Structure 1
Amino acid sequence: MKFDLHTHHVRCGHADGTIEDYIIAGIDAGLQVIGISDHSPYFYHKEDHPSPGIAMARSAFAGYVNEVLRLKEKYDGTIEVLLGMESDFFPDYADSYRKAYEGVPFDYLIGSVHQVGGVSIFNRNRWKGLKEEQQVKVKKSYYDLIQQSARSGMFDILGHIDAMKGYYPAFSDIPAYEHIDETLQTIADCGISIEINTSGSTKDVGGWYPSDDMLERALHFGVNVTFGSDAHVPSRVGDEWELVQKRLKEIGFSQWVFYRKREQVVVPL
Protein backbone atom coordinates (compact mmCIF):
# COMPACT_ATOMS: atom_id res chain seq x y z
CA MET A 1 0.00 0.00 0.00
CA LYS A 2 1.42 3.33 -1.09
CA PHE A 3 0.74 6.39 1.09
CA ASP A 4 1.98 9.92 1.74
CA LEU A 5 0.98 11.69 4.96
CA HIS A 6 2.71 15.05 4.58
CA THR A 7 1.34 17.49 2.00
CA HIS A 8 0.64 21.22 2.00
CA HIS A 9 -1.38 23.58 -0.16
CA VAL A 10 -1.94 27.25 -0.93
CA ARG A 11 -3.44 28.22 2.46
CA CYS A 12 -0.07 28.07 4.22
CA GLY A 13 1.28 30.86 2.01
CA HIS A 14 4.39 29.09 0.72
CA ALA A 15 2.96 26.16 -1.23
CA ASP A 16 1.35 25.98 -4.66
CA GLY A 17 -1.92 24.32 -5.56
CA THR A 18 -5.26 23.46 -4.00
CA ILE A 19 -5.93 20.48 -1.77
CA GLU A 20 -7.66 18.79 -4.68
CA ASP A 21 -4.57 19.30 -6.85
CA TYR A 22 -2.57 17.22 -4.33
CA ILE A 23 -5.22 14.52 -4.22
CA ILE A 24 -5.21 14.25 -8.01
CA ALA A 25 -1.40 14.16 -7.96
CA GLY A 26 -1.63 11.34 -5.42
CA ILE A 27 -3.89 9.35 -7.71
CA ASP A 28 -1.48 9.95 -10.60
CA ALA A 29 1.42 8.78 -8.39
CA GLY A 30 -0.34 5.52 -7.60
CA LEU A 31 -1.15 6.28 -3.97
CA GLN A 32 -3.91 4.42 -2.20
CA VAL A 33 -3.81 6.86 0.74
CA ILE A 34 -3.01 10.58 0.86
CA GLY A 35 -2.86 12.70 3.99
CA ILE A 36 -3.49 16.45 3.88
CA SER A 37 -1.43 18.11 6.60
CA ASP A 38 -1.04 21.83 6.11
CA HIS A 39 0.73 24.07 8.60
CA SER A 40 -1.30 24.90 11.69
CA PRO A 41 -2.30 28.49 12.39
CA TYR A 42 -0.53 30.26 15.22
CA PHE A 43 -3.43 29.57 17.56
CA TYR A 44 -1.82 31.34 20.50
CA HIS A 45 -1.29 34.66 18.69
CA LYS A 46 -3.61 37.60 19.25
CA GLU A 47 -3.64 38.30 15.50
CA ASP A 48 -5.63 36.14 13.10
CA HIS A 49 -2.83 35.84 10.56
CA PRO A 50 0.50 37.00 11.97
CA SER A 51 2.68 35.10 9.46
CA PRO A 52 0.99 34.97 6.02
CA GLY A 53 3.97 33.33 4.31
CA ILE A 54 4.42 30.61 6.93
CA ALA A 55 1.06 29.33 8.16
CA MET A 56 -2.65 29.65 7.47
CA ALA A 57 -4.84 32.19 9.24
CA ARG A 58 -6.72 31.04 12.29
CA SER A 59 -9.95 32.03 10.52
CA ALA A 60 -9.04 29.66 7.65
CA PHE A 61 -8.81 26.59 9.88
CA ALA A 62 -12.50 25.59 9.83
CA GLY A 63 -12.61 25.96 6.05
CA TYR A 64 -9.54 23.76 5.75
CA VAL A 65 -11.10 21.00 7.82
CA ASN A 66 -14.41 21.19 5.95
CA GLU A 67 -12.71 21.13 2.56
CA VAL A 68 -10.67 18.03 3.41
CA LEU A 69 -13.78 16.26 4.75
CA ARG A 70 -15.70 17.15 1.59
CA LEU A 71 -12.91 15.83 -0.63
CA LYS A 72 -12.59 12.72 1.53
CA GLU A 73 -16.19 11.94 0.62
CA LYS A 74 -15.81 12.96 -3.03
CA TYR A 75 -12.84 10.66 -3.64
CA ASP A 76 -14.09 7.75 -1.53
CA GLY A 77 -13.47 4.57 -3.51
CA THR A 78 -10.72 6.17 -5.61
CA ILE A 79 -8.18 7.21 -2.98
CA GLU A 80 -8.43 7.42 0.79
CA VAL A 81 -8.07 11.04 1.88
CA LEU A 82 -6.95 11.57 5.47
CA LEU A 83 -7.40 14.71 7.53
CA GLY A 84 -4.16 15.72 9.19
CA MET A 85 -2.24 18.81 10.19
CA GLU A 86 1.39 19.67 10.69
CA SER A 87 1.20 21.36 14.05
CA ASP A 88 3.84 23.63 15.49
CA PHE A 89 5.01 22.70 18.95
CA PHE A 90 5.60 25.53 21.39
CA PRO A 91 5.65 24.21 24.97
CA ASP A 92 4.41 27.47 26.45
CA TYR A 93 1.39 27.50 24.14
CA ALA A 94 0.55 23.80 23.88
CA ASP A 95 -2.82 24.29 25.57
CA SER A 96 -3.89 26.80 22.90
CA TYR A 97 -3.30 24.12 20.26
CA ARG A 98 -4.98 21.38 22.30
CA LYS A 99 -8.09 23.53 22.65
CA ALA A 100 -8.16 24.34 18.92
CA TYR A 101 -7.97 20.64 18.01
CA GLU A 102 -10.72 19.48 20.38
CA GLY A 103 -13.54 17.77 18.52
CA VAL A 104 -11.87 17.95 15.11
CA PRO A 105 -12.07 14.53 13.37
CA PHE A 106 -8.37 14.28 12.59
CA ASP A 107 -6.92 11.05 11.30
CA TYR A 108 -3.52 12.13 12.63
CA LEU A 109 -1.47 15.09 13.81
CA ILE A 110 2.19 15.69 12.93
CA GLY A 111 4.11 17.57 15.60
CA SER A 112 7.02 19.60 14.26
CA VAL A 113 9.56 21.78 15.98
CA HIS A 114 10.23 24.71 13.66
CA GLN A 115 11.88 27.13 16.07
CA VAL A 116 14.60 26.86 18.71
CA GLY A 117 15.16 29.87 20.90
CA GLY A 118 12.75 31.86 18.76
CA VAL A 119 14.83 31.32 15.60
CA SER A 120 13.76 29.16 12.66
CA ILE A 121 15.55 25.82 12.46
CA PHE A 122 16.06 26.56 8.75
CA ASN A 123 17.92 29.83 9.39
CA ARG A 124 21.48 29.02 8.37
CA ASN A 125 22.73 32.29 9.85
CA ARG A 126 22.03 31.06 13.38
CA TRP A 127 25.24 28.98 13.24
CA LYS A 128 27.58 31.82 12.28
CA GLY A 129 30.31 32.44 14.82
CA LEU A 130 29.17 29.71 17.24
CA LYS A 131 31.81 27.62 18.94
CA GLU A 132 31.30 23.87 19.17
CA GLU A 133 30.01 24.00 22.74
CA GLN A 134 27.41 26.59 21.68
CA GLN A 135 26.40 24.44 18.70
CA VAL A 136 25.98 21.44 20.99
CA LYS A 137 23.77 23.52 23.28
CA VAL A 138 21.51 24.50 20.36
CA LYS A 139 21.30 20.91 19.11
CA LYS A 140 20.44 19.61 22.58
CA SER A 141 17.77 22.32 22.91
CA TYR A 142 16.27 21.14 19.63
CA TYR A 143 16.06 17.54 20.81
CA ASP A 144 14.76 18.61 24.21
CA LEU A 145 11.83 20.23 22.39
CA ILE A 146 11.28 17.10 20.30
CA GLN A 147 11.21 15.02 23.49
CA GLN A 148 8.68 17.41 25.01
CA SER A 149 6.55 17.17 21.88
CA ALA A 150 6.60 13.37 22.15
CA ARG A 151 5.57 13.48 25.80
CA SER A 152 2.83 16.05 25.19
CA GLY A 153 0.38 13.37 24.04
CA MET A 154 -0.80 15.65 21.24
CA PHE A 155 0.75 13.93 18.25
CA ASP A 156 0.75 10.69 16.31
CA ILE A 157 3.83 11.50 14.23
CA LEU A 158 6.87 13.71 14.79
CA GLY A 159 7.96 15.62 11.70
CA HIS A 160 11.45 15.85 10.16
CA ILE A 161 13.40 15.20 13.36
CA ASP A 162 16.79 16.28 12.06
CA ALA A 163 15.61 19.09 9.78
CA MET A 164 18.09 21.57 11.27
CA LYS A 165 20.57 20.05 8.83
CA GLY A 166 18.48 21.25 5.86
CA TYR A 167 20.50 24.38 5.16
CA TYR A 168 23.39 23.49 7.45
CA PRO A 169 24.61 19.97 6.63
CA ALA A 170 27.30 20.19 9.34
CA PHE A 171 24.48 19.94 11.90
CA SER A 172 24.69 16.15 11.62
CA ASP A 173 28.30 16.21 12.88
CA ILE A 174 27.62 18.27 15.99
CA PRO A 175 28.23 15.78 18.84
CA ALA A 176 25.01 15.09 20.74
CA TYR A 177 24.67 11.37 20.19
CA GLU A 178 23.48 10.43 23.66
CA HIS A 179 20.84 13.13 23.48
CA ILE A 180 19.58 11.75 20.17
CA ASP A 181 19.40 8.24 21.60
CA GLU A 182 17.49 9.59 24.60
CA THR A 183 15.08 11.30 22.19
CA LEU A 184 14.50 8.14 20.16
CA GLN A 185 13.92 6.14 23.35
CA THR A 186 11.38 8.74 24.48
CA ILE A 187 9.57 8.57 21.14
CA ALA A 188 9.45 4.78 21.36
CA ASP A 189 8.19 4.89 24.94
CA CYS A 190 5.42 7.28 23.89
CA GLY A 191 4.29 4.95 21.12
CA ILE A 192 4.36 7.52 18.35
CA SER A 193 6.09 7.53 14.97
CA ILE A 194 8.68 9.51 13.07
CA GLU A 195 8.38 10.30 9.40
CA ILE A 196 10.88 9.72 6.66
CA ASN A 197 10.53 13.10 5.01
CA THR A 198 11.96 13.33 1.50
CA SER A 199 11.86 17.13 1.25
CA GLY A 200 15.43 17.22 2.57
CA SER A 201 16.44 16.20 -0.94
CA THR A 202 15.35 19.66 -2.11
CA LYS A 203 17.52 21.47 0.47
CA ASP A 204 21.28 22.05 0.73
CA VAL A 205 21.75 18.81 2.65
CA GLY A 206 20.49 16.80 -0.32
CA GLY A 207 19.13 13.91 1.72
CA TRP A 208 16.09 12.74 3.62
CA TYR A 209 15.09 13.55 7.19
CA PRO A 210 16.22 11.71 9.22
CA SER A 211 19.59 10.42 8.12
CA ASP A 212 20.29 6.70 7.72
CA ASP A 213 22.27 6.49 10.93
CA MET A 214 19.35 7.95 12.87
CA LEU A 215 16.97 5.49 11.20
CA GLU A 216 19.26 2.66 12.27
CA ARG A 217 19.11 3.96 15.84
CA ALA A 218 15.33 4.34 15.56
CA LEU A 219 15.05 0.67 14.57
CA HIS A 220 17.22 -0.26 17.56
CA PHE A 221 14.88 1.56 19.94
CA GLY A 222 11.71 0.21 18.29
CA VAL A 223 10.44 3.47 16.84
CA ASN A 224 7.73 3.18 14.19
CA VAL A 225 8.21 5.05 10.93
CA THR A 226 5.91 6.54 8.32
CA PHE A 227 6.34 8.38 5.01
CA GLY A 228 5.85 12.03 4.10
CA SER A 229 7.00 13.87 1.01
CA ASP A 230 6.33 17.25 2.66
CA ALA A 231 5.16 18.30 -0.80
CA HIS A 232 4.68 22.02 -1.35
CA VAL A 233 3.99 21.49 -5.05
CA PRO A 234 1.70 18.73 -6.34
CA SER A 235 4.45 17.19 -8.48
CA ARG A 236 6.33 16.10 -5.32
CA VAL A 237 3.50 13.96 -3.90
CA GLY A 238 4.89 10.49 -3.18
CA ASP A 239 8.38 11.67 -4.14
CA GLU A 240 11.01 8.91 -3.69
CA TRP A 241 8.53 6.58 -1.94
CA GLU A 242 9.97 3.47 -3.58
CA LEU A 243 13.54 4.48 -2.71
CA VAL A 244 12.57 4.99 0.93
CA GLN A 245 10.80 1.63 1.01
CA LYS A 246 13.90 -0.07 -0.38
CA ARG A 247 16.24 1.67 2.06
CA LEU A 248 14.09 0.83 5.07
CA LYS A 249 14.20 -2.85 4.12
CA GLU A 250 17.99 -2.63 3.81
CA ILE A 251 18.25 -1.06 7.26
CA GLY A 252 16.13 -3.86 8.69
CA PHE A 253 12.62 -2.48 9.05
CA SER A 254 9.80 -4.89 8.26
CA GLN A 255 6.87 -2.46 8.42
CA TRP A 256 5.81 1.14 8.42
CA VAL A 257 2.55 2.80 9.43
CA PHE A 258 -0.08 5.37 8.61
CA TYR A 259 -3.02 6.60 10.69
CA ARG A 260 -6.79 6.50 10.36
CA LYS A 261 -9.00 8.11 13.02
CA ARG A 262 -5.93 8.46 15.25
CA GLU A 263 -5.32 4.71 15.10
CA GLN A 264 -2.13 3.21 13.73
CA VAL A 265 -2.44 1.11 10.58
CA VAL A 266 0.53 -1.23 10.02
CA VAL A 267 1.73 -1.74 6.43
CA PRO A 268 4.30 -4.47 5.71
CA LEU A 269 7.30 -3.28 3.74
Structure 2
Amino acid sequence: MTLPADYHAHSNYSDGRPLPSMVAAAADAGLEAIGITDHCNVSSRELPQRAKRKLGFNLDQTYGRRREALRSLREQAPESNPITIYDAVELDYDPRDESEIERFLEDAAFDYTIGSVHVVDDANIFDREYFAAKSESELQDLVAEYYDKVVALIESELFDVVGHVDAIERTPELRGYTTQAHYERVAEALEFSPTVPEINAGRVLEEYGHFHPAPAFLEAIQGRDVQFVPGTDSHRPAELLDRLPVLEERFADLDLEPVTPFSE
Protein backbone atom coordinates (compact mmCIF):
# COMPACT_ATOMS: atom_id res chain seq x y z
CA MET A 1 0.00 0.00 0.00
CA THR A 2 1.16 3.53 -0.80
CA LEU A 3 0.07 6.06 1.78
CA PRO A 4 -0.96 9.42 0.32
CA ALA A 5 -0.09 11.45 3.40
CA ASP A 6 1.78 11.62 6.69
CA TYR A 7 -0.33 13.51 9.20
CA HIS A 8 2.17 13.68 12.08
CA ALA A 9 5.51 15.42 11.57
CA HIS A 10 7.42 18.08 13.47
CA SER A 11 9.59 21.04 12.52
CA ASN A 12 11.91 23.57 14.11
CA TYR A 13 8.80 25.31 15.48
CA SER A 14 9.00 22.69 18.26
CA ASP A 15 11.61 19.91 18.48
CA GLY A 16 12.11 19.04 14.80
CA ARG A 17 14.33 20.11 11.94
CA PRO A 18 13.74 23.16 9.69
CA LEU A 19 10.41 23.30 7.90
CA PRO A 20 11.86 23.27 4.35
CA SER A 21 13.85 20.09 5.02
CA MET A 22 10.83 18.27 6.47
CA VAL A 23 8.60 19.24 3.54
CA ALA A 24 11.35 18.31 1.06
CA ALA A 25 11.67 14.88 2.66
CA ALA A 26 7.92 14.33 2.35
CA ALA A 27 8.05 15.31 -1.33
CA ASP A 28 11.07 13.06 -1.93
CA ALA A 29 9.17 10.18 -0.31
CA GLY A 30 6.42 10.61 -2.89
CA LEU A 31 3.76 11.80 -0.46
CA GLU A 32 0.85 13.82 -1.75
CA ALA A 33 0.54 15.65 1.56
CA ILE A 34 2.36 16.30 4.83
CA GLY A 35 0.90 17.60 8.08
CA ILE A 36 3.19 19.73 10.21
CA THR A 37 2.06 19.12 13.79
CA ASP A 38 4.42 20.90 16.13
CA HIS A 39 4.14 20.44 19.89
CA CYS A 40 2.14 23.04 21.78
CA ASN A 41 0.92 23.63 25.33
CA VAL A 42 -1.52 26.39 26.27
CA SER A 43 -1.95 25.71 29.98
CA SER A 44 -1.56 28.67 32.33
CA ARG A 45 -0.54 26.39 35.21
CA GLU A 46 2.98 26.95 36.54
CA LEU A 47 4.47 23.49 35.89
CA PRO A 48 3.49 23.38 32.18
CA GLN A 49 4.65 26.98 31.81
CA ARG A 50 8.01 26.07 33.34
CA ALA A 51 8.40 23.06 31.04
CA LYS A 52 7.50 25.17 28.02
CA ARG A 53 10.17 27.72 28.90
CA LYS A 54 12.73 24.96 29.37
CA LEU A 55 11.94 23.23 26.06
CA GLY A 56 11.17 26.33 24.03
CA PHE A 57 7.88 24.96 22.68
CA ASN A 58 6.13 28.23 21.89
CA LEU A 59 3.81 27.43 19.00
CA ASP A 60 0.97 29.12 20.87
CA GLN A 61 2.89 32.34 20.24
CA THR A 62 4.52 31.51 16.89
CA TYR A 63 1.85 29.65 14.91
CA GLY A 64 1.11 32.80 12.88
CA ARG A 65 4.76 33.06 11.87
CA ARG A 66 4.83 29.36 11.00
CA ARG A 67 1.64 29.79 8.98
CA GLU A 68 3.38 32.41 6.85
CA ALA A 69 6.34 30.07 6.36
CA LEU A 70 4.03 27.26 5.28
CA ARG A 71 2.30 29.57 2.84
CA SER A 72 5.66 30.50 1.34
CA LEU A 73 6.65 26.85 0.98
CA ARG A 74 3.39 26.07 -0.80
CA GLU A 75 4.05 28.88 -3.27
CA GLN A 76 7.60 27.67 -3.91
CA ALA A 77 6.66 24.02 -4.52
CA PRO A 78 7.68 23.01 -8.06
CA GLU A 79 4.87 22.00 -10.40
CA SER A 80 6.78 18.81 -11.15
CA ASN A 81 6.68 17.71 -7.51
CA PRO A 82 3.75 19.44 -5.77
CA ILE A 83 2.80 18.55 -2.22
CA THR A 84 -0.06 19.69 0.00
CA ILE A 85 1.15 21.06 3.33
CA TYR A 86 -1.26 21.09 6.26
CA ASP A 87 -1.02 23.63 9.07
CA ALA A 88 -1.70 21.47 12.13
CA VAL A 89 -0.72 21.04 15.77
CA GLU A 90 0.02 18.40 18.41
CA LEU A 91 -1.39 19.87 21.58
CA ASP A 92 -0.77 18.66 25.13
CA TYR A 93 -3.98 17.65 26.87
CA ASP A 94 -4.91 17.77 30.53
CA PRO A 95 -8.54 17.89 31.71
CA ARG A 96 -7.68 20.91 33.85
CA ASP A 97 -6.84 22.91 30.71
CA GLU A 98 -9.90 22.20 28.56
CA SER A 99 -11.27 25.74 28.55
CA GLU A 100 -7.89 27.19 27.56
CA ILE A 101 -7.42 24.54 24.87
CA GLU A 102 -10.87 25.22 23.45
CA ARG A 103 -10.28 28.97 23.27
CA PHE A 104 -6.89 28.57 21.65
CA LEU A 105 -8.05 26.12 19.01
CA GLU A 106 -11.01 28.30 18.12
CA ASP A 107 -8.73 31.31 17.63
CA ALA A 108 -5.91 29.46 15.83
CA ALA A 109 -8.14 27.57 13.35
CA PHE A 110 -5.62 24.90 12.36
CA ASP A 111 -6.37 22.56 9.47
CA TYR A 112 -6.62 19.76 12.05
CA THR A 113 -5.48 18.97 15.58
CA ILE A 114 -3.78 16.10 17.38
CA GLY A 115 -4.26 15.83 21.13
CA SER A 116 -1.68 13.94 23.18
CA VAL A 117 -1.11 13.06 26.83
CA HIS A 118 2.52 13.55 27.84
CA VAL A 119 2.21 14.08 31.60
CA VAL A 120 1.12 12.07 34.67
CA ASP A 121 1.62 13.12 38.26
CA ASP A 122 2.93 16.41 36.82
CA ALA A 123 5.90 14.54 35.31
CA ASN A 124 6.67 13.86 31.65
CA ILE A 125 5.86 10.23 30.85
CA PHE A 126 9.32 9.79 29.29
CA ASP A 127 11.19 10.87 32.45
CA ARG A 128 12.69 7.51 33.40
CA GLU A 129 14.49 8.79 36.49
CA TYR A 130 11.24 10.06 38.00
CA PHE A 131 9.41 6.77 37.56
CA ALA A 132 12.35 4.59 38.61
CA ALA A 133 11.84 5.82 42.19
CA LYS A 134 8.19 4.70 42.30
CA SER A 135 6.79 1.52 43.83
CA GLU A 136 4.87 -1.03 41.76
CA SER A 137 1.53 0.10 43.18
CA GLU A 138 2.41 3.72 42.44
CA LEU A 139 3.32 2.81 38.86
CA GLN A 140 0.01 1.01 38.43
CA ASP A 141 -1.81 4.11 39.64
CA LEU A 142 0.18 6.37 37.31
CA VAL A 143 -0.59 4.20 34.28
CA ALA A 144 -4.27 4.27 35.27
CA GLU A 145 -4.03 8.08 35.47
CA TYR A 146 -2.56 8.15 31.98
CA TYR A 147 -5.45 6.21 30.49
CA ASP A 148 -7.98 8.26 32.44
CA LYS A 149 -6.54 11.29 30.66
CA VAL A 150 -6.54 9.58 27.26
CA VAL A 151 -10.23 8.71 27.66
CA ALA A 152 -11.02 12.25 28.82
CA LEU A 153 -9.18 13.61 25.76
CA ILE A 154 -11.25 11.46 23.43
CA GLU A 155 -14.51 12.26 25.18
CA SER A 156 -13.77 16.00 25.16
CA GLU A 157 -14.03 15.95 21.33
CA LEU A 158 -11.66 18.91 21.23
CA PHE A 159 -9.31 17.17 18.78
CA ASP A 160 -9.50 15.48 15.42
CA VAL A 161 -6.87 12.87 16.32
CA VAL A 162 -5.65 11.28 19.54
CA GLY A 163 -1.88 10.83 19.29
CA HIS A 164 0.04 7.65 20.19
CA VAL A 165 -2.61 6.29 22.58
CA ASP A 166 -0.16 4.01 24.42
CA ALA A 167 2.93 6.24 24.36
CA ILE A 168 3.44 5.43 28.03
CA GLU A 169 4.70 2.00 26.91
CA ARG A 170 7.84 3.66 25.51
CA THR A 171 9.14 4.15 29.04
CA PRO A 172 10.60 0.88 30.39
CA GLU A 173 9.70 1.72 33.99
CA LEU A 174 6.03 2.09 32.99
CA ARG A 175 5.90 -0.73 30.50
CA GLY A 176 3.71 -3.73 31.18
CA TYR A 177 1.19 -2.05 33.48
CA THR A 178 -1.33 -1.39 30.72
CA THR A 179 -4.19 -3.86 31.09
CA GLN A 180 -6.95 -5.24 28.90
CA ALA A 181 -9.36 -3.07 30.87
CA HIS A 182 -7.38 0.01 29.78
CA TYR A 183 -7.55 -1.15 26.17
CA GLU A 184 -11.29 -1.64 26.33
CA ARG A 185 -11.96 1.75 27.99
CA VAL A 186 -10.04 3.59 25.27
CA ALA A 187 -11.56 1.50 22.48
CA GLU A 188 -15.09 2.17 23.75
CA ALA A 189 -14.42 5.90 23.99
CA LEU A 190 -13.11 5.92 20.42
CA GLU A 191 -16.14 4.04 19.11
CA PHE A 192 -18.46 6.81 20.27
CA SER A 193 -16.29 9.84 19.47
CA PRO A 194 -15.43 11.67 16.24
CA THR A 195 -11.82 11.74 17.44
CA VAL A 196 -9.79 9.10 15.58
CA PRO A 197 -6.57 7.35 16.63
CA GLU A 198 -3.42 7.16 14.60
CA ILE A 199 -1.13 4.33 13.63
CA ASN A 200 2.04 6.01 14.86
CA ALA A 201 5.48 4.83 13.71
CA GLY A 202 7.45 7.08 16.03
CA ARG A 203 9.34 4.34 17.90
CA VAL A 204 8.92 1.27 15.71
CA LEU A 205 12.54 1.39 14.49
CA GLU A 206 13.98 2.28 17.89
CA GLU A 207 14.38 0.56 21.28
CA TYR A 208 10.63 0.28 21.92
CA GLY A 209 10.15 -1.51 18.60
CA HIS A 210 6.36 -1.26 18.24
CA PHE A 211 3.81 0.90 16.52
CA HIS A 212 1.25 2.78 18.57
CA PRO A 213 -1.11 1.22 19.36
CA ALA A 214 0.75 -1.99 20.17
CA PRO A 215 -0.73 -5.23 18.74
CA ALA A 216 -2.94 -6.21 21.69
CA PHE A 217 -4.24 -2.66 22.01
CA LEU A 218 -4.86 -2.44 18.28
CA GLU A 219 -6.84 -5.68 18.39
CA ALA A 220 -9.17 -4.23 21.03
CA ILE A 221 -9.73 -1.09 18.97
CA GLN A 222 -10.21 -2.93 15.68
CA GLY A 223 -13.01 -4.91 17.26
CA ARG A 224 -15.06 -1.72 17.07
CA ASP A 225 -16.04 0.71 14.30
CA VAL A 226 -12.86 2.81 14.44
CA GLN A 227 -10.63 4.08 11.64
CA PHE A 228 -7.00 5.20 11.71
CA VAL A 229 -4.85 8.11 10.54
CA PRO A 230 -1.21 7.42 9.49
CA GLY A 231 1.60 9.31 11.21
CA THR A 232 5.39 8.88 11.18
CA ASP A 233 5.82 11.21 14.17
CA SER A 234 9.07 12.24 12.50
CA HIS A 235 11.29 15.06 13.74
CA ARG A 236 14.04 14.69 11.13
CA PRO A 237 13.96 14.14 7.37
CA ALA A 238 15.71 10.79 7.68
CA GLU A 239 13.11 9.60 10.19
CA LEU A 240 10.28 10.36 7.78
CA LEU A 241 12.05 8.56 4.93
CA ASP A 242 12.85 5.52 7.11
CA ARG A 243 9.50 5.22 8.87
CA LEU A 244 7.16 5.77 5.93
CA PRO A 245 7.83 2.39 4.22
CA VAL A 246 7.22 0.42 7.44
CA LEU A 247 4.08 2.46 8.13
CA GLU A 248 2.81 1.69 4.64
CA GLU A 249 3.57 -1.99 5.23
CA ARG A 250 1.69 -1.88 8.53
CA PHE A 251 -1.48 -0.51 6.91
CA ALA A 252 -1.18 -3.12 4.15
CA ASP A 253 -0.66 -6.01 6.58
CA LEU A 254 -3.69 -4.92 8.60
CA ASP A 255 -5.75 -4.29 5.45
CA LEU A 256 -6.57 -0.83 6.78
CA GLU A 257 -7.71 2.05 4.63
CA PRO A 258 -6.12 5.24 6.02
CA VAL A 259 -8.42 8.16 6.71
CA THR A 260 -7.83 11.89 6.85
CA PRO A 261 -8.08 13.74 10.17
CA PHE A 262 -10.66 16.16 8.78
CA SER A 263 -13.78 16.16 6.66
CA GLU A 264 -13.01 16.45 2.96
Which category of TM-score, normalised to the shorter sequence, fits these structures? 0.7 to 0.9
Match of residue 88 from structure 2: 84
Give me the whole-angstrom Cα distance separating, in 2, the residues matched to 1:48 and 1:174.
29
- What TM-score, normalized by structure 1, do the two folds share? 0.85
Check whether the contact 2:39–2:89 (CA below 8 A) recurs between aligned residues: yes
> 144, 155, 159: which is aligned to 1:155?
159
> 201, 204, 208: which is aligned to 2:204?
201
Give me the whole-angstrom Cα distance separating, in 1, the residues matched to 2:129 and 2:121.
14
Structure 1 runs of 4+ with >6 Å offset: 46-49
CA offset digits 1:110-130 (Å, max 9, x no partner) = 000010110101111233254
List gaps (5 residues or longer) in structure 1: none
CA displacement at 1:52 relative to structure 2: 4.4
CA offset digits 1:203-260 (Å, max 9, x no partner) = 4312222212211221112221111111111222254333233333433x4311123x
- Of stretches 223-232 and 99-108 in structure 1, the one that deviates more from structure 2 is 99-108
The 1:50/1:142 distance shift into structure 2, 3 A limit, reads closer
The 1:96/1:90 distance shift into structure 2, 3 A limit, reads same
Which SS does the other structure have where 2:223 is aligned?
helix
- What TM-score, normalized by structure 2, do the two folds share? 0.87
> 93, 113, 116: which is aligned to 1:112?
116
Give me the whole-angstrom Cα distance separating, in 1, the residues matched to 2:63 and 2:43.
10
Match of residue 146 from structure 1: 150
CA displacement at 1:199 relative to structure 2: 1.6
Give me the whole-angstrom Cα distance separating, in 2, the residues matched to 1:174 and 1:45.
29
- Of stretches 176-185 and 31-40 in structure 1, the one that deviates more from structure 2 is 176-185
CA displacement at 1:183 relative to structure 2: 1.0
- Of stretches 199-208 and 181-190 in structure 1, the one that deviates more from structure 2 is 199-208
Match of residue 75 from structure 1: 77
**Structure 2 counterpart of 1:113, which letter?**
V
Check whether the contact 1:132–1:174 (CA below 8 A) recurs between aligned residues: no
- What is the identity percentage for the equivalent residue pairs of Structure 1 and Structure 2? 23
Give me the whole-angstrom Cα distance separating, in 1, the residues matched to 2:206 and 2:10.
17
- Of stretches 159-168 and 240-249 in structure 1, the one that deviates more from structure 2 is 240-249
Which SS does the other structure have where 1:96 is aligned?
helix
Aligned residue pairs total 258
CA offset digits 1:167-200 (Å, max 9, x no partner) = 31761x2252112211111012102211122121
Aligned-residue RMSD, C-alpha: 2.5
